[in-house]
Amino acid sequence: MTNNGPAVVARELAKSYGSRVAVDGIDFEVPAGICFGFLGPNGAGKTTTMKMIYGLARVGDGELFVMGMDARRERREIKSRIGVVSQETNLDGDLTVRENLTQQASYFGIDAHAAAPRVDQLLEFSLLAERGNDRVQSLSGGMKRRLMVARSMVNEPELIVLDEPTTGLDPQARLAVWRSLERLKRRGVTLLLTTHYMEEASRLCDRLLIMDEGRIVTEGSPASLVREHAGREALELELGDDCDAAALLATVAERADGHELHDGDLTLFAQDAEELLRSIDHDRFPTDSALVRRATLEDVFLRLTGRSLREGE
């Protein structure tokens, strides 16, 4: 069965664990063939949402359809047609790279002989053809993550769910995984991604959904979210000891698109941050440093979800 509609549709989707509400009645749609990202602080509900999509957690309340199938009644069928890259590295370290892929194929009823050509393709795709006979425990962290992406493709899925796929990787290894995911998207595979890396979300995602406390805060393309919630540029000011932050904000309120004040550091958002900087009376409002830069997705994230450190999901 081929689904020509959205890859995922959620209506009033909710999930609770005892008295704790993890997902609180959210609505969203994921068009097929794009990379759709879930962002949010720890405990926002994004991982629980993903688990309901790929069948690890049962749907609580509301409706959830994955590739046109009801996630309540057709969990087994959904699992057979999707791929999952979990946050934890769960490869079998006692098997070779090739054996890990062959073993995964067996879970979908594909014997080793029939799987061999597909395994060869996946080794090439993941740039691991030279390491096929090496044991997994000998691979670097980046190689293991690329192997996990390849393993998720064994059943030629229409949808792949990736839960923080590059956590803990160095910049070079992260870039290699990004390139693998970009190649997947060019093939028309729908990608669902959670990440804490704003650069990763900006580069890979066509559309983003930001969650906090189980609810959707905002949704849109990375560029549109920056324009809507942060503006074009940002001015970072380290305020001097004698600077009255409230009075400064009152003088620039009409020229700024918003602000963030945290531990004596003031960030102002504006269409022209250089002009905003020139307009400030620096004798009246002394600053220790000033930096003009482009507004980013990280600015959006912090403005909408706050800066407080949170633990757990």
| pLDDT (0 to 100) of residue 2 | 53
pLDDT by residue for the chain (313 residues), tens digit each? 456 789 999 999 999 999 999 999 999 999 999 999 999 998 899 999 999 999 999 999 999 999 999 999 999 999 999 999 988 889 999 999 999 999 999 999 999 999 999 999 999 999 999 999 999 999 999 999 999 999 999 999 999 999 999 988 889 989 999 999 999 999 999 999 999 899 999 999 999 999 999 999 999 999 999 999 888 999 999 999 999 999 999 999 889 988 888 888 999 999 999 999 999 999 999 999 999 999 999 999 988 987 554 445 5
Domains in the chain (CATH in brackets) are: 8-226 (3.40.50.300), 231-295 (3.30.70.980)
Integer Cα distance of 234 and 263 in angstroms: 17
Tell me, rounded to whole angstroms, the distance of Cα 191 from its chain centroid: 10
Task: State how beta strands 82-85 and 265-270 pair.
Answer: unpaired
On whether the pTM is more than 0.75, the answer is yes
